[in-house]
Amino acid sequence: MGVLEAMICEIPVLATLVGGVPDVIENGCDGVIIEAGDVSQLAAAMSQLLCDSELRDRLARAGHRRVMRDCSADLIVQQLEQYWHRAITRGEA
């Protein structure tokens, strides 16, 4: 959840390739993903983000747009309605 919260607040995200992170971040487009445990990759990514304000701003804006597009309350409600409709139709509810 912390990744989405950072993105909605327009904070550039640097995360490791674990759990659902690859489902939320497109590496280089709306955040930076590195291998878990790779200290040199972490240092390089941190240095790049610290030194490149244009990159930080671009990632922050893109992350915010992605969360607004893919995680809005209206979209979630619509997806839940579709899920329940399918479940009821199949008799699974």
The CATH class, in words, for 2-89 is alpha beta
Distances (CA, A) of 7 to 1, 36, 87: 10, 20, 32
**Model confidence pLDDT, tens digit, residues 25-78:** 999 999 999 999 999 999 999 999 999 999 999 999 999 999 999 988 888 899
The length of the chain in residues reads 93
Amino acid of residue 31: G
Can you tell me which residue has the tokens 């990159």?
Answer: 55
Q: Pick from 10, 18, 43: which is nearest to 31 by CA?
A: 10
Q: What is the pTM of this model?
A: 0.79
